[in-house]
Amino acid sequence: MSHPGDDVLADLALGQPVDDVSSSHVDGCDECGRDLAALRRTLAAVAEGEGLHAPGPQVWNAIVAATSSEAPAAAPAPPGRSARRFSLGSLAVATTLGALVGVGAIAAVNQWRAPDAEVVASANLATLDTGATRGVAEVERVRGQLEVRIMVSSDPDPGGYLEVWLINRDLERMVSLGVLPQGTSNRSYPVPQSLLDEGYVIVDISREPLDDQPAHSGDSIVRGTLAI
Amino acid sequence: MPPDQDCEESEAELVSRFREGDPSALAAAYARWGRLVHSLALRYLGNYHDAQDVTQQVFVSAWRSRHTLREGTGSLGGWLVTIARRRCADALAVRTRQGRSAAVEVESLAGVGSAVSDDVTDRIVVAHALDALGDPRATIIRLVVIDGHTHEAVAERLDLPLGTVKSHVRRGLLQLRKDLEEVTS
């Protein structure tokens, strides 16, 4: 006879009754015997009920740091980072573009989202001194992957580059999501759920000098707290 | 089973993006398998500090050697698990050389192919896959397989038809077997 279906093999592995014909076939069939053994091995592993432990957020940080130190020619950009570092020359071009993309473009938030994106949380990005809203940050779920989307009016300023950060509620820990190229008023950065769960919910955009220092410059332009 | 097919397709797509060096693929791989890799490392190495180091190394080294990942073959999760086990064996070997007594661990380290580490890997991979099944399927399987309740008792407790419970257990078991084979074969 032909092999019984997977459901019958599953029932056999689970100790559920099956019909005699199937049962005697499996007894004499090597192929079914191997399938049954694999199902039993799976069941034995399930029955042990092993616990899982998520890594701390610093692990992802370290991965980003390690992969971002690679030369761009040897490897493409690490998560959330711009594919290349800005040179002064490219900034000059970016500034011109930046001047063209205005606040008005923020109204078109919908056109920037992926069509199947689900907005999980959002925050207005406001200046720290005057509280003026300069953009929006959203957490979107796109095909199961979380992304932080930044939509800001570009600020033509050749004095460095803009970098996007997630700051923890404890205001002590922070993670760099990557560069926000000037002239780009809409950009998304993939983030693991665990980061948000750990309390990294304050979106911050800083102005960074071109000094190869990876730490936050302390010069925050806008900030907003995601309501999660 | 359409959901399984979706899953396969998205992994194939992820593998392809990973190979091409799309940075979001590294983040997606970490979101999907970071917990699995870390849990394996923690189980092998016995402390959080070393487990976090290894977890980091696994993803960094996978990223750097992504061009060796063959298109259309194997699973990214399985590849990461293989790298993780190798890294754990390396970390245990270093400990031994440093004289940090680990006689028992060194026995099990015999490697990466020993029965002991295979069992541990199986259990963690399956626990991870079980979580990914989602509810009610994962809960039903836990109640039946881990807690040893009968299908009937589970049906009553969750107020579900008996046939539904049986079907969840069967489908779930078959999916877990597939996940386990993809990762450990």
User: What is d(CA A60, CA A195) in angstroms, rounded to the nearest whole number?
Assistant: 9
Residue B73 pLDDT: 56
As a whole number of angstroms, the distance between CA A134 and CA A125 comes to 6
Q: How far, in Å, CA of A140 to CA of B130, rounded? A: 26
Q: At what angle do helices B23-45 and B115-133 cross, to 10 degrees?
A: 130
pLDDT the model gives residue A154: 54
CA-CA distance, B65 to A178, in Å (whole number)?
23
Instruction: Give the start-to-end residue ranges of the domains of chain A.
Output: 6-48, 58-225
Reported as a pLDDT band with limits 50, 70 and 90, residue A153 is low
Closest CA to A80 of A185, A159, A192, A183: A192
- A chain contacts of residue B142, beta-carbon cutoff 8 Å: 49
User: Distance (Å, rounded) from C-alpha B136 to C-alpha B138?
Assistant: 6
User: Are B56 and A76 an interchain contact pair (Cβ–Cβ within 8 Å)?
Assistant: no
**Across chain A, what does the average pLDDT equal?**
73
Return d(Cα A189, Cα A165) in angstroms, integer.
Answer: 10
Q: Using the predicted structure, report yes or no on whether residue A113 has a pLDDT greater than 90.
A: no
What residue type is B115 in one-letter code?
A: A
Q: What is the pLDDT averaged over residues A190-200?
A: 89
pLDDT at B46: 84
Number of cross-chain residue pairs from A and B with Cβ atoms under 8 Å apart: 152
Q: Domains for chain B: give ranges and CATH numbers.
A: 2-111 (1.10.1740.10), 134-185 (1.10.10)
Q: What pLDDT does residue A52 have?
A: 87
Per-residue confidence (pLDDT) for residue B164, from 0 to 100: 94
Q: Which 3 state secondary structure label does DSSP give A87?
A: coil
Chain B residues with CB under 8 Å of A36 CB are: none
A50 to B127: CB separation less than 8 angstroms, yes or no: yes
B150 at A interface, C-beta within 8 A: no
Chain B 77-136, residues with CB within 8 Å of chain A CB atoms? 119-120, 122-128, 130-131
* pLDDT for the residue B175: 94
What CATH topology corresponds to A58-225?
Answer: Immunoglobulin-like (2.60.40)
> Which pTM value belongs to this model?
0.57
What pLDDT score does B152 carry?
Answer: 93
The pLDDT assigned to B165 comes to 94
Residue A83 has pLDDT above 70, yes or no: no
Name the residue facing A63 among B59, B128, B174 (closest C-beta): B59
Percentages of chain A per state (helix, strand, coil), in multiples of 5: 35, 30, 40
Q: HSE-up of B131 (CA within 13 Å, CB side)? A: 15
pLDDT for the residue numbered A102: 31
Is residue B26 a contact partner of residue A145, using CB atoms and an 8 Å limit? no
Residue B84: the pLDDT is: 92
Inspect the interface and report whether the beta carbons of A13 and B127 lie closer than 8 Å. Answer: no
Q: A9-41 pLDDT, tens per residue?
A: 999 999 888 888 888 888 889 999 999 999 999
Residue A123 structure tokens: 């925050």
| Helix %, strand %, coil % of chain B (to 5) | 80, 0, 20
Average pLDDT over residues A176-198: 83
- CA of A143, closest CA in chain B: separation in Å? 9
What strands lie across the sheet with A145-152, from one edge to the other? A174-180, A161-168, A200-208, A220-225, A118-127, A133-142, A145-152, A186-190
* Residue A27 pLDDT: 87
d(CA B28, CA B32) in angstroms, rounded, equals 6
Q: Looking at the complex, does the CB of residue B46 fall below 8 Å from at least one CB of chain A? A: no
**Contact flag B27-A144 (C-beta cutoff 8 Å):** no
Q: What is the mean pLDDT of residues A197-209?
A: 87
Regions in chain B scoring below 70 on pLDDT? 1-9, 71-74, 97-117, 185
Each residue of B157-182: pLDDT tens digit? 888 999 999 999 999 999 999 999 88
pLDDT per residue as tens digits for the range A36-74: 999 999 999 999 878 888 888 888 888 888 887 553 323
Task: Name A141's Cβ contacts closer than 8 Å, sequence gap at least 6.
Answer: A117, A118, A120, A147
Please list every residue in chain B whose beta carbon sits closer than 8 Å to the beta carbon of residue A34.
none
